[in-house]
Amino acid sequence: MVVNCGALTETLIEAELFGHERGAFTGAVKKRDGRFKAADGGTVFLDEIAELPLSAQAKLLRVLQEGTFEPLGTNTSVRVDVRVISATHRNLKERIAEGAFREDLYYRVNVIEIPLPPLRERPGDLSLLVHYFLRQFIPPGRPLPTVSPAAWAALSQYHYPGNVRELSHALEHAVVLSGGAEIDVRHLPVGISNQGATTVEAGGVAPEIRPLHIALREFEREYLLRAMAQASSKRVRAAEMLGISRKSLWEKLRLHGISDAETESREQQEPRPGS
């Protein structure tokens, strides 16, 4: 059960999480079980938990400590057995210092922390994410559009303050403007398309520009390795993911000198989707 804690008002978030009795508040025309009750025996994912109001934080803390809560409009306790996973883009320790997040709740939810670096700190993921999102935005049965070198350069140099969501929106924007044909730099949002012309390193020194054929070759080799790792070294599966024939994949692997041992080694290092 998924709840976006930043999308609802204080009253509604408590009703959404813990349920309510009929007449508990204006608009409560009938009794409703909350997400915790519905997820009994399963998992609740609290997205943007830093936006949770303090009153709801107190109830959440009790659920985590005792496994019980009272729906709005009743004093009857409900017992549940629920796993809680939470996510936030904010620094919770800063929110604690501001008095906006309970310190005791922080230590309750922070049993296992999985830091997710921003996209700008994991450029190796860009190629796989581009491929993934293009598959989402192209109708089934149609070939994936290619991405021009200029578009790749702009996508690679951009820092993505909006992280993966911004990349998704940029590619959807590009697919619409390109009509499903090759995505060029002019099809990208302005902030990204201008990146290649404006990005400079600290101190005003422009980044080193290598010959295009070398950059493209290095990119293709890395992309093939990532695809083979994600496909567990199964060439048929990797070819399907890449949208090419098995023969073409074999020729590209041979061209780049990618051995079975190298793909198996990469597979051991590569995180599995959903891990």
The tens digit of pLDDT for each residue in 141-151 reads: 888 888 888 88
Q: Which long-range contacts (CB under 8 A, 24 or more apart) does 90-94 make?
A: 90/48, 90/50, 92/50
Side chain identity, residue 4: N
Residue 242 CB: number of other CB atoms within 10 A? 18
Burial 61-88 (b: 16+ CB within 10 A, else e): bebeeeeebebbbeeeebebebebebeb
Entry pTM: 0.57
Model confidence pLDDT, tens digit, residues 189-227: 988 988 655 443 444 444 455 666 677 777 888 888 888
Residue 210 pLDDT: 60
**H helices of 138-245, where?**
149-157, 163-178, 190-193, 195-198, 212-230, 235-242
Question: Contact at 8 Å (CB) between 246 and 236?
Answer: yes
Residue 207 pLDDT: 47
pLDDT band for position 262 (cuts 50, 70, 90): confident
Mean pLDDT to the nearest integer, 120-146: 88
Identify any residues that bridge with 79 across adjacent strands, giving them in sequence order.
68
**Separation of alpha carbons 46 and 109, rounded Å:** 10
* pLDDT for 270 beyond 60: no
pLDDT band for position 174 (cuts 50, 70, 90): very high
Please name each of the domains of the chain with its CATH number: 2-109 (3.40.50.300), 119-269 (1.10.8.60)
